Structure 1
Amino acid sequence: MSSPTASLAGRTVSRIGYGAMQLERLRGNRDDAVALLRRAVELGVDHVDTAQFYGFGFVNDVIREVLGTDDDVLVVTKVGADPNPGGRVPLRPAQRPEQLRASVEDNLRSLGVDQLAVVNLRRLDAGPGLRPHGDQLVDLDDQLAVMTALRDEGKIGAIGLSSVTLDGLRRALPAGIACVQNAYSLVSRGDEDLLRLCVAEGIAWVPFFPLGGAFPGLPKVTEESAVRAAAEALGVTASQVGLAWLLHHAPNVLLIPGTADADHLEANVAAGGITFDAATLAALDAVESRSVDLVLDAE
């Protein structure tokens, strides 16, 4: 495995960060949410992934309380969706340029900062999740225009892409892309060409759903016999094996596993220290990859 650190938007960060979305599960006990995020920082987490629409602002508010304007932790936000209370999915696409700008402003206010270090544009072109319709079908060039304008204004430090296709990333490269967030795991490796392009271009690869199985019907890393065998042999959990495999697979992988449980948080961070022998790695590499193209309806 390569170094326990990697580069994101010109910053060197630990390869295992924290996806803050799960903090919204602690909405009823804010003190627990604050304590969990503080524990993450104590464990060496210096890369936190968030969005204004997580918990309708609750998550960003907790991050603001814990981190303030401390630059030691790189906070990455995202735009491209808005809350959808009462819908089948709690989010709806918000892809139009004016919506992207409004979302950036919302994140600035809720986090209490003058600049968002990295903002991911969630394109909704690929992987499981929502798809845009009607006036939400917006050309990538129009979106990049507003994102680069926000960067020129100093409101964004760097631009990332999420749920993007290989062609989309190629089109976006001239704008300067710091990271790509796509659904990707040991059991869902359809974006291998996209990952290789990111390696070649020095772009961080930040997979979401790193253990698969986020929605019913999607394959789960922890159910694979090779993963379970590796976990038993190493004395770790199947989830830790799935996370460690991602770190072994490419040098630009940065993980942002989310949890609302302190023990799970510690286990996720500890996955960064797991190594595989050649036979174990070969067995994991041989696991079948399956499609993750599940489309959800926000209504």
Structure 2
Amino acid sequence: MTVRTFRVGDRVVRRLGFGAMHLPTAPAAARGNAVAVARRAVELGVTLIDTAHLYGWGANEELLAEALHPYPEDLLIATKVGVAPPDPPREAAVCGRPELLRDQVEQALRRLRVPRLELVQLHRVDPDVPLADQLGALREMQAAGKIGHIGLSEVTVGQLTEARRIVDVVSVQNRYNLLDREHEPVLESCAAAGIAFLAWRPVHPAVSAVTTGITAVAAELGATAAQVSLAWLLARAPVVLPIPGTASLAHLAENVAAAELELTGEHLRRLDARGPAGGTG
């Protein structure tokens, strides 16, 4: 039986979460649907939602507040900071300057309408700023009561190891799915340390291709290829928290239902044998 919950810091969440990146914030009709999808996710039992300053430069955070505030007590909203918006001719870029990180945290507090952000993840490690300075800024805001827990995104094992010498890391958000296991070593490190591994892009674009073999397992279970892919992630390790995203109510229901799909040992052996497709996307 697959374990369906995991403790992230001091919060217990259901392992199958929701990625809010694809929720449109405009125009009005699309925004109304996005609000409905966010609300339906919570109604269906989702207790982990992922967003970021990068997603609409704060508009995604505002959308979640419009849809869900005041938040259910068991809902954990994770946001990310560390990407500077475009300032022509400069394009958007990774930026870990402490002053920018502090400003984006303050903006998130206002946009999400909360006194404390329960989980803030460094969106990317800025190679031009010492990691101790980047995480130090977040640690200072944590000490001030503005951040509950600190996580990372798209990191290597070496970066995770270095970060854990500086702060208590409760989560890592890396790209990972059945056909793309580039970050397998990072997942293994998280599993060994009991750190939540938020798998983004949890369903590879190629899962519906007949050549993957996933469709055969899906047909046997009366499920979709996407559901099989999500169920595989949930069976992969207890620390894995997939965060599929969608702007479709029907697709949302399909994703959430994957948490109830039980793969047999034979199914898992067949799926594991497909092997990773390598770093795509």
Query: Normalising by structure 1, what TM-score?
Result: 0.86
CA separation of 1:239 and 1:86: change in aligned 2, threshold 3 A: farther
- Write out aligned runs for 1:131-170 (5 A): 137-170=128-161
Counterpart in the other structure of 2:226: 239
User: What is the alpha-carbon distance in structure 2 between the residues aligned to residue 206 and residue 106 of structure 1?
Assistant: 23
Aligned residues: 277
**Aligned sequence identity (%):** 42
User: What is the alpha-carbon distance in structure 2 between the residues aligned to residue 41 and residue 179 of structure 1?
Assistant: 21
Amino acid at match of 1:198: C
User: What is the alpha-carbon distance in structure 2 between the residues aligned to residue 93 and residue 269 of structure 1?
Assistant: 32
* Equivalent position to 1:271, from 248, 255, 258: 258
CA separation of 1:27 and 1:166: change in aligned 2, threshold 3 A: farther
Q: Does 1:222 align with 2:208?
A: yes
CA separation of 1:188 and 1:104: change in aligned 2, threshold 3 A: same
Amino acid at match of 2:77: V
Deviation at 1:293, TM superposition (A): 6.3
User: What is the alpha-carbon distance in structure 2 between the residues aligned to residue 31 and residue 210 of structure 1?
Assistant: 26
Determine which structure has greater relative contact order: mean sequence separation of CA pairs < 8 Å that are 6+ residues apart, divided by chain length. Answer: 1
CA RMSD of aligned residues (A): 2.1
Counterpart in the other structure of 1:180: 172
User: What is the alpha-carbon distance in structure 1 between the residues aligned to residue 103 and residue 225 of structure 2?
Assistant: 40
Amino acid at match of 1:251: P
CA separation of 1:25 and 1:58: change in aligned 2, threshold 3 A: closer
User: What is the alpha-carbon distance in structure 2 between the residues aligned to residue 76 and residue 61 of structure 1?
Assistant: 13
User: What is the alpha-carbon distance in structure 2 between the residues aligned to residue 225 and residue 187 of structure 1?
Assistant: 9
User: What is the alpha-carbon distance in structure 1 between the residues aligned to residue 74 and residue 248 of structure 2?
Assistant: 23
Asked whether the equivalents of residues 183 and 209 of structure 1 are also in contact (C-alpha less than 8 Å), the reply is yes
CA displacement, residues 91-110 of structure 1 (integer Å, 9 cap, x when unaligned): 42222121111111111111
Deviation at 1:188, TM superposition (A): 1.4
Q: Partner of 1:207: helix, strand, or coil?
A: strand
Deviation at 1:26, TM superposition (A): 5.5
Counterpart in the other structure of 2:4: 4
User: What is the alpha-carbon distance in structure 1 between the residues aligned to residue 86 and residue 229 of structure 2?
Assistant: 32
CA displacement, residues 255-295 of structure 1 (integer Å, 9 cap, x when unaligned): 2111000000000000001111222110100112133166x
Segments of structure 1 that go 5 or more residues without pairing to the other structure are 125-131, 214-219, 295-299
Deviation at 1:86, TM superposition (A): 8.3
Counterpart in the other structure of 1:284: 271
User: What is the alpha-carbon distance in structure 1 between the residues aligned to residue 219 and residue 142 of structure 2?
Assistant: 47
User: What is the alpha-carbon distance in structure 2 between the residues aligned to residue 203 and residue 187 of structure 1?
Assistant: 22
Counterpart in the other structure of 1:17: 17
Deviation at 1:88, TM superposition (A): 11
Amino acid at match of 1:221: V
Amino acid at match of 2:244: P
- Write out aligned runs for 1:45-56 (5 A): 45-56=46-57
Structure 1 stretches of 4+ with a deviation exceeding 4 A read 85-89
User: What is the alpha-carbon distance in structure 2 between the residues aligned to residue 26 and residue 179 of structure 1?
Assistant: 31
Counterpart in the other structure of 1:262: 249
Counterpart in the other structure of 1:127: none
Deviation at 1:87, TM superposition (A): 9.0
Counterpart in the other structure of 2:85: 83
Asked whether the equivalents of residues 23 and 33 of structure 1 are also in contact (C-alpha less than 8 Å), the reply is yes
User: What is the alpha-carbon distance in structure 2 between the residues aligned to residue 189 and residue 159 of structure 1?
Assistant: 24
Deviation at 1:35, TM superposition (A): 1.3
Deviates more, 1:276-285 or 1:48-57: 48-57
User: What is the alpha-carbon distance in structure 1 between the residues aligned to residue 51 and residue 27 of structure 2?
Assistant: 15
Deviation at 1:59, TM superposition (A): 1.8
User: What is the alpha-carbon distance in structure 1 between the residues aligned to residue 162 and residue 214 of structure 2?
Assistant: 36
Deviation at 1:27, TM superposition (A): 4.1
CA displacement, residues 113-136 of structure 1 (integer Å, 9 cap, x when unaligned): 111000010225xxxxxxx6xxx6
User: What is the alpha-carbon distance in structure 2 between the residues aligned to residue 138 and residue 57 of structure 1?
Assistant: 23
